[in-house]
Amino acid sequence: MRLQKTVSSEAVNPAANGTADTEGVGYAQPSLEVLSCKSCNASGNCLVEQMTIRNGHSYQLMKNRKVYLRGEHMYRAEDEADALYVVSSGSVKSYVIMEDGEEQVLNFYHTGDVVGLDGMGADSYISSAISLETSTICKLPLSNLPEAGLGRGFLHLVSDRLIRDHNLMLMLARKDADGRMASFLVNISKHFKKLGQSADVFELTMTRQDIANYLGLAIETVSRTLRRFQDSGMLVVTRRKIQIYDFDCLLEIAGTQVSR
């Protein structure tokens, strides 16, 4: 049985319907979909609402609203990243599958939260999103975002930040000292490569104590781990300078990471 209520696709154009305001919405004759936004649990704190009604954009930007049952996916990792999803009611979980086949939860989303940002700026979603209960979700196609004044450059920055946060969570939740340190060095290497700088030779600007605090390790463990990596021939440590000789081995130790 399909629970989704079909919404009219007719756009309400403010210019074509006069200039009278309806409780600040800006439409002379608000559609049923506008009224449904007014009664939504996320009203006033919703990305979709802010990018359409409040900015006077045609309602054609909006809006696929769908009810997802418990256990139903909104999208899966590697699906085409073509939209953002706003939780109107209910709750959603995002997760990735680790190299051992186990699931690692990344985040939980509730009313008003935006899901899918970690896949923006890429061709596909990084993680999977699944409904934890019967949830109402609003879908905002990415193809409409430039019209609403939010460029993909901004989404790309948000996505990068989320990916780094996801990888930190994976480090702290799943990995031993070697895995955490390897992930840390791999992330820094990739960052320098993205900037067009050397990915094999770089300086660590943070202290060993800072690294230990960030990775949830003792400072002695950080030093021993780096020494072990050096003894294996993967890299050389000279004070704060790191020179990587076997990136593939470092990547293997790092294990599962979310990336573009």
Query: What is the average pLDDT across 23-36?
Result: 43
The string of pLDDT tens digits covering residues 190-239 is 878 877 889 999 988 888 998 888 888 899 999 999 999 999 999 999 98
Instruction: Report residue 138: phi and psi, to 5°.
Output: -105, 130
CATH 2.60.120.10 range(s) for the chain read 14-151
Query: Range(s) for CATH 1.10.10.10 in the chain?
Result: 175-254
The amino acid occupying position 51 is M
Percent of the chain with pLDDT over 90: 24
Residue 36 has pLDDT above 50, yes or no: yes
Architecture in CATH of 14-151: Sandwich (2.60)
| Domain 175-254 CATH class label | mainly alpha
Map tokens 């990305």 to a residue: 47
* 63 prior amide bond cis, ω within 30: yes
Distances (CA, A) of 14 to 24, 64, 65: 12, 21, 22
- Per-residue tokens: 69: 């049952």
Amino acid at site 13: N
Predicted TM-score of the model (pTM)? 0.57
Identity at 204, one-letter amino acid code: L
Cβ atoms of residues 123 and 164 within 8 Å: no
- Least confident range from 8-17, 67-76, 233-242: namely 8-17
Mean pLDDT (whole number) for 97-103 = 82
Q: Which of 74, 84, 171, 169 is nearest to 121 (CA)?
A: 84
Cα dist. 188→45, 71, 117, 200, 242 in Å?
35, 36, 22, 10, 11
φ, ψ of residue 181 to 5 degrees: the values are: -65, -40
